[in-house]
Amino acid sequence: ETQKETMEFQAEVRQLMKLMIHSLYSNKEIFLRELISNASDACDKLRFEALSNDALYDGDSDLKIRVNFDKEARTITVSDNGVGMSRDEVVDNIGTIAKSGTKQFFESLTGDQSHDLELIGQFGVGFYSCFIVADKVTLTTRRAGAPADQAVQWESDGEGSYSLTNAAKDGRGTDIVLHMREGEDEFLDAWRLRSIITRYSDHISIPIEMPSQEEGKEGEYEVINSASALWKRPKKEISEEEYKEFYKHVAHDFGEPLAWTHNQVEGTQSYTSLLYIPKTAPFDLWDRDRRHGIKLYVRRVFIMDDAEHLMPQYLRFVRGLVDSDDLPLNVSREILQQNKFIDSIRAASVKKILGLLEKMANNEPEKYAEFWKQFGQVMKEGPAEDFANRERIAKLLRFSSTYTDSEEQNVSLEDYVSRMPDGQDKIYYITADSFSAAKNSPHLEVFRKKGIEVLLLSDRVDEWLVSHLTEFDGKPLVSVAKGDLDLGKLGNDKEEKKDDKAEEDYKAFLDKLKDVLADEVSEVRSSQRLTDSPSCLVLGEQEMAMHMQQLLKQAGH
Ligand code: ADP
Ligand code: MG
């Protein structure tokens, strides 16, 4: 029996489609890129599932994507014989956004179209782009392994709701029929569709076919794209444009990459890696359940998304793929956890990314500044997580400091060290809840007076960072709020020696204070820290920084 159900789009999906239609209007041809990208993913998934269940191919292992159009009916059809979807999968994948972080995402939309577009684009919403050009979309899909009469048809006008009907379909996979909007006839044209495919989808490794236009070949299909794995092609034959388009596919991002590194390694171990640094931080950078990291391929067969063992946490923004020649095809997540091939690919990939960043920092400082704004806070997790590369990571870090007093983090530890006056053997920093609290701290008074630079740390991760990065270039990192400073011989203010006389003069006063504050502090001392403020709180050498104590207090400890 046919079961027709009408279902409402999730409110967020409705809002998203509206936004999408408006912001992508000037770039609407990308709907085809997105549908082809999904079809290619569906073929990858089938090939992977068939590794352990050959029957899923059902005699048809020739995976392909077909694009057809009908000028009279005003439709474009994109078909694949990939994995298809069950009824439940259709409901889960199309019509709902089941991702955590959806709410914050919508709150972060500003109404500025180009900014919003960048955000939308990395949200995994490619499918909805078909409503830019279509006022009705009919998707018929049959899960690999399901019988012909257990297909399902999804249909929507992209307004408020969609319908689901049981259907029959020859062959597995998905057909998507776009009923084009009034005025979108330009797409009902073989030349136009071919040129869009060549422009945006040439790198897709599954063949994309269209009806042949050659005389005598009516009814036959011909392949439009190169249909080879881009990452296996010789590097010098791949254009910048192709690398960029491939990024959009592999990273599910509408935006461009900031940089990439492509490595074809042969030897005792052979593999290829193509790793990208995105331009914009993904909305779920801080979300534990995020997806889309590095894809793992074995001999060009897609194995898994988000192989987290291929990149450490502090480089979790890296996108792309690794294709190994040596791993078994039946490799599982468990095997990856302790596999010597994976360990060495991972170590080499980390070095490649650090190298890419070092080059950017040296040769293109403005680009690096852009990178740092997006991903700096994540990089600061590096020294704690990756002991072996601690020194290299430390050189890549950027901070605010009293040298510029600007909130922009653009001071490197090397810059700091190069400015240290004779006799200074420590790197000073202060941590606080906010940049202005750090910058205006009374602890800095003596440093400012003596012209000694202090790093101003106010990111949440900074306390964690300095607890693991305890020295740089042989110089200890020291908090200006902890312990005895002994700045006597330092800086451009030489008049000071340790002033025992002051201590004596004020002894009575200090004792009195100590009495009054007995429950609050362990000691009251005269200080060389201050020039203008009458007093400040200082922590003992061993105590947790004040900031950390406040955080713990807020958290109810
Ligand atoms: P993304 O590709 O980033 O996941 P999309 O909006 O493009 O986001 O697609 C949403 C989901 O719909 C996909 O993740 C996939 O599960 C499903 N899907 C879309 N197109 C197809 C298809 N042709 N075959 C199978 N599943 C598909
Ligand atoms: Mg997609």
Give the model's confidence band at 540: pLDDT under 50 very low, under 70 low, under 90 confident, else very high: low
According to DSSP, the β-strands at 427-431 and 455-457 are parallel
**Mean pLDDT calculated for residue range 231-240:** 96
Q: What is the DSSP string of 1-33?
A: ----EEEEPPHHHHHHHHHHHHHTGGGTTHHHH
- 124 Cβ inside 6 Å of ligand 1: yes
> Is the minimum distance from the CB of 44 to ligand 1 under 6 angstroms?
no
**Atom 3 of ligand 1, residue of closest alpha carbon:** 124
Residue 284 pLDDT more than 90?
no
- The answer to whether residues 119 and 107 touch, using CB atoms and an 8 Å cutoff, is no
CB 391 within 8 A of CB 414: no
Mean pLDDT of the chain: 88
For the ranges 78-92, 310-324, 456-470, 531-545, the lowest mean pLDDT is seen at 531-545
Q: Is 282 in the pocket of ligand 1 (CB under 6 A)?
A: no
Q: What is the pLDDT of residue 283?
A: 75
- The pTM of the full predicted model, rounded to 2 decimals, is 0.85
For residue 446, give Cα distances in angstroms to 122, 213, 218, 238, 480. Answer: 47, 80, 85, 57, 10
pLDDT (mean) for 208-228:
94
CA of 42 to the centre of ligand 1 (A): 8
Residues 6+ apart with CB under 8 A from 417: 427, 472, 473, 475
- Regarding the beta carbon of 402 and ligand 1, being less than 6 Å apart is answered no
Instruction: Say if residue 34 carries a ligand binding annotation.
Output: yes
- pLDDT (0 to 100) of residue 305: 86
Tell me: is residue 272 an annotated ligand-binding position: no
Query: Looking at residue 452, what is its pLDDT?
Result: 94
Checking if the pLDDT of 145 tops 90, the result is: yes
Of all protein residues, whose CA lies closest to atom 8 belonging to ligand 1? 124
Rounded to the nearest angstrom, the distance between the alpha carbon of 127 and the centre of ligand 1 is 6
* 85 in contact with ligand 1, CB cutoff 6 A: yes
Give the ligand with the smallest distance to the CA of 252.
1
- Is the pLDDT confidence value at 394 over 90? yes
DSSP letters spanning 157-224: -SSSEEEEEEE--SSSEEEEEEEEPTT-GGGS-HHHHHHHHHHHHTT-SS-EEEE--STT-TT-EEE-
pLDDT of residue 208: 98
More confident residue, 279 or 283: 279
Average pLDDT over residues 43-52: 95
Lowest-confidence range among 7-11, 150-154, 291-295? 291-295
Residue 1 has pLDDT above 60, yes or no: no
HSE toward the beta carbon, residue 202, CA cutoff 13 A: 14
- Confidence (pLDDT) at 338: 83
Please give the pLDDT value at position 285.
Answer: 80
107 pLDDT higher than 80: no
The CA 126 to ligand 2 mean position distance, Å, reads: 4
**Residue 500: what pLDDT?**
59
Task: Specify the pLDDT at position 2.
Answer: 62
Q: How far apart are CA 539 and CA 348, in angstroms?
A: 42
Stretch 9-29: mean pLDDT: 82
Statement: residue 497 has pLDDT above 60: no
Specify the 3-state DSSP secondary structure of 272: strand
The proportion of the chain whose per-residue pLDDT surpasses 70, expressed as a percent, equals 89
What's the average model confidence in pLDDT over 420-430? Answer: 94
> For residue 106, what pLDDT is reported?
74
CA of 38 to the centre of ligand 2 (A): 5
Write down the pLDDT at residue 508.
Answer: 80
- Phi, psi values for residue 80, rounded to 5°: -140, 155
Residue 38 Cα to ligand 1 middle (Å) = 5
Find the 260 Cα to ligand 1 centroid distance in Å. Answer: 25
Residue 61 scores a pLDDT above 70: yes
Pocket test for ligand 1, best of 93, 137, 283, 284 (most atoms within 8 A of CB): 93
Cβ within 8 Å of residue 236, ≥6 positions away: none
Burial 323-343 (b: 16+ CB within 10 A, else e): bbeebeeebeeeebeebebbe
User: Do residues 254 and 30 make contact, with C-beta atoms less than 8 angstroms apart?
Assistant: yes
The residue whose C-alpha atom lies closest to atom 13 belonging to ligand 1 is 93
Ligand 1 lined by 175 (C-beta under 6 Å):
no
Provide the token pair at 540.
């003992």
In which order are the strands placed within the sheet that holds 257-265? 257-265, 271-278, 319-324, 294-298, 301-304
Q: How far apart are CA 296 and CA 273, in angstroms?
A: 9
Residue nearest to atom 12 of ligand 1 (CA): 93
- Statement: residue 77 has pLDDT above 60: yes
Residue 314, ligand 1, Cβ within 6 A: no
111-133 CB burial, b ≥16 within 10 A, e <16: eeeeebbbbbbbbbbbbbbbbbb
Specify the residue with its C-alpha closest to ligand 1, atom 15: 93
Pocket mutation for ligand 1, best pick of 16, 31, 36, 41 (most atoms within 8 Å of C-beta): 41
- Distance from the alpha carbon of residue 541 to the mean position of ligand 2, in angstroms: 53
As given in the structure block, the two tokens for residue 516 are 């009054």
126 marked ligand binding residue: yes
143 labelled as ligand-binding?
Answer: no
pLDDT at 182 over 70: yes
Amino acid identity at 134: A
53 is in an annotated binding site: no
> Which residue has better confidence, 89 or 516?
89
Residues in the chain, how many? 557
- Looking at residue 319, its pLDDT comes to 95
Say yes or no to pLDDT of 71 above 80. Answer: yes
Give me ligand 2 centre to Cα 3, in Å: 28
> Does residue 93's CB lie within 6 angstroms of at least one atom of ligand 1?
yes
* pLDDT score of 116: 72
pLDDT confidence of residue 29: 94
pLDDT score of 315? 95
Among 30-34, 324-328, 395-399, 506-510, the minimum mean pLDDT is found in: 506-510
Ligand 1 centroid distance, CA of 176 (Å): 12
Residue 553's pLDDT band, with cuts at 50, 70 and 90, is low
Res 310 pLDDT > 90: yes
| Structure confidence by residue, pLDDT tens digits, 343-380 | 999 999 999 999 999 999 999 999 999 999 999 999 99
Residue type, 272: T
Mean pLDDT for 506-511 is: 79
**419 or 284, higher pLDDT:** 419
Whether residue 424 has its Cβ less than 6 Å from ligand 1? no
Is pLDDT of 166 > 60? yes
